[in-house]
């Protein structure tokens, strides 16, 4: 009865076409974000312009647009811990009057949210049917952290779109390799498939360096599966995608080599992030009350200086300090493997359910945010487990496995570092797939499209 009522509600709220879903997702995101920055900000006294609570991408864009180089401020040191694609997208925005920059950013990122909605809809409809697809879009749009991130100059919305698109393209090739999806017969479409995966992979990696690990694992795995299944089409696609990705990333890698004299495929910063993650938890070198987590991370790594003197926008200024902190990270891993495993487990729980790890924090903070995130994610995962159970019952474990795999492939690379941020930054890339699984548990849809 409840599922039937939900289904009837969705039929009236969520469109039944990809075009309709795009416009709905775009309109909801644009409206909520504009209301937040124009109305709520005015009532609370918060600035309508960009504040300091982001990662410096708008500063990089401003200096790129004015010919100052890839720096946070004119004459400042070259930056090596921020990938370049997102700042490039922001460059045109920086030439607008300050009062128009944030609304324009919201417009751009609301369009991205529209396309994420379309991908969610099409994945859900393909595997489970129309009602589940509609429910998945509805669940995704209920996520308040979509709108928090969409109104700020941070990579998470773009990263979520690109990761979802890459997962769709790579998943399609996987299904072709195992004989569960028809190979396109149109040569133009085949060529677009070959290039599409490689271009998406490159842009994804150049948006957030953590995603480079996703690509490095995914494309060789797809190639191995294709070879095992003797599927020449997917073998060609995998190789072409890998070559395309390398060609597109190579200029940025060369820039890093030319500027810093080091092989940095995308971005640095892993050593500082590692120690930031260490001091997050109770232990020998924990963060102290009143101390910033970056100051604590520098102290734990044995780096002289403070956040204000040796870092800018959450990354080190000096490449020689990057070498030192990376060496310290490797040493710490060798000397304290047990502590590393403990951190992995705590981070894995905190990723979705931060309230459960709250007692283990070195410095208690963001309790309300942690509780809200935990409740929201717990509801999603309960529904998702119901969806997986439904897949098992309906002999659709392949669909559940692909969706769960996409979640795990995105999440696992954050566990060695720090996974909790109050605005749920790192989990958002998994939400399209979690929303589909949750919708599978919540909807009464009995129609399945196994090939379209």
pLDDT of residue 348 exceeding 80: yes
The arithmetic mean of pLDDT across residues 409-417, rounded, is 92
pLDDT tens for each residue of 59-89: 999 999 999 999 999 999 999 999 999 999 9
Question: What is the rounded CA–CA span in Å between residue 358 and residue 343?
Answer: 13
Q: What is the CA radius of gyration of the chain?
A: 22
- Note the pTM of the prediction, 2 decimals: 0.94
pLDDT tens for each residue of 153-191: 999 999 999 999 999 999 999 999 999 888 777 777 777
Residue 59 token pair: 């500063």
pLDDT tens for each residue of 308-334: 999 999 999 999 999 999 999 999 999
pLDDT tens for each residue of 254-297: 999 999 999 999 999 999 999 999 999 998 789 999 999 999 99
Strand pairing partners for 281? 361
pLDDT > 90 fraction of the chain, expressed in percent and rounded: 80
Do 370 and 288 contact (CB within 8 A), yes or no? Answer: no
Q: How sure is the predictor about 423, in pLDDT bands with cuts at 50, 70 and 90?
A: low
pLDDT for 263 equals 97
CA nearest 361: which of 277, 274, 428, 451?
A: 277
pLDDT for 366 equals 84
Residues contacting residue 424 through CB under 8 Å, at least 6 positions apart: 145, 148, 373
pLDDT for 422 equals 59
Q: How sure is the predictor about 251, in pLDDT bands with cuts at 50, 70 and 90?
A: very high
pLDDT for 7 equals 64
Bigger pLDDT: 241 vs 7: 241
CA nearest 273: which of 175, 383, 419, 117?
A: 419
pLDDT for 451 equals 39
Residues contacting residue 298 through CB under 8 Å, at least 6 positions apart: 272, 275, 305, 306, 307, 310, 311
pLDDT of residue 410 exceeding 60: yes
Average pLDDT over the chain reads 91
Q: How sure is the predictor about 424, in pLDDT bands with cuts at 50, 70 and 90?
A: confident
Of the listed ranges 1-5, 125-129, 341-345, the one predicted with least confidence: 1-5
Do 433 and 406 contact (CB within 8 A), yes or no? Answer: yes
Dihedral-angle region of residue 152 (phi above 0 means left; psi in -120 to 50 means alpha; beta otherwise): beta
| Per-residue DSSP letter, 316 | E
Question: What is the rounded CA–CA span in Å between residue 93 and residue 62?
Answer: 9
CA 449 to chain centroid, in Å, comes to 28
pLDDT for 452 equals 37
pLDDT for 87 equals 98
End-to-end CA distance of the chain: 31
What letters, b where the CB count within 10 A reaches 16 and e where it falls short, cover 142-167? ebebbbbbbbbbbbbbbbbbbbbbbb
């Amino acid at each position: 009865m409840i599922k039937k009522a939900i289904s009837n509600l969705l039929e009236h709220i969520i469109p039944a076409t990809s075009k309709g879903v795009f416009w709905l997702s775009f309109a909801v995101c644009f409206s909520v974000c504009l209301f937040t920055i124009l109305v709520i900000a005015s009532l609370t006294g918060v600035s309508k312009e960009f504040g300091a609570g982001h990662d410096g991408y708008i500063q990089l864009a401003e200096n790129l647009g004015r010919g100052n180089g890839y720096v946070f401020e004119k004459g400042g040191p070259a930056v090596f811990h921020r990938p370049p694609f997102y700042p490039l997208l922001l460059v045109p925005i920086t030439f607008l009057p300050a009062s128009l920059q944030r609304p324009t950013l919201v417009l751009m990122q609301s369009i991205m949210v529209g396309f994420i909605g379309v991908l969610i809809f099409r994945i859900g409809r393909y595997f489970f049917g129309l009602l589940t697809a509609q429910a998945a879009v509805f669940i995704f749009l209920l996520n308040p952290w979509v709108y928090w991130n969409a109104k700020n100059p941070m990579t998470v919305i773009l990263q979520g779109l690109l990761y979802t698109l890459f997962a769709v393209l790579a998943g399609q090739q996987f299904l072709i390799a195992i004989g569960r999806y028809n190979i396109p017969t149109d040569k133009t479409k085949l060529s677009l498939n070959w290039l599409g995966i490689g271009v998406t992979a490159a842009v994804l990696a150049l948006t957030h360096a953590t995603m480079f690990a996703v690509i490095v694992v995914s494309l060789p795995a797809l190639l191995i599966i294709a070879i095992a299944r003797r599927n020449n089409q997917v073998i060609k696609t995998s190789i072409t995608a890998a070559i395309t990705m390398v060609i597109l990333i190579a200029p940025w890698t060369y820039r890093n080599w030319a500027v810093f004299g080091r092989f940095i495929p995308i971005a640095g910063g892993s050593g500082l992030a590692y120690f930031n993650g260490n001091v997050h938890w109770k232990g020998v070198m924990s963060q102290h009350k009143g101390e910033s987590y970056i100051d604590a991370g520098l102290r734990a790594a044995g780096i002289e200086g403070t956040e204000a003197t040796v870092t800018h926008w959450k990354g080190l200024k000096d490449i020689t300090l990057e070498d030192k902190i990376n060496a310290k990270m490797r040493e710490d891993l060798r000397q304290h493997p047990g502590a590393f495993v403990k951190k992995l487990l705590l981070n894995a729980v905190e990723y979705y359910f931060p309230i459960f790890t709250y007692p283990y924090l070195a410095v208690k903070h963001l309790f309300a945010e942690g509780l809200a995130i935990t409740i929201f994610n717990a509801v999603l995962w309960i529904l998702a487990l119901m969806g997986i159970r439904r897949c098992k019952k309906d002999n659709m474990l392949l669909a559940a496995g692909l969706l769960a795999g996409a979640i795990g492939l995105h999440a696992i690379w954050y566990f060695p570092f720090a996974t909790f941020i109050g605005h749920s930054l790192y989990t958002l890339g998994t939400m399209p797939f979690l929303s589909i699984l949750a919708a599978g548990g919540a909807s009464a849809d009995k129609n399945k499209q196994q090939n379209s």
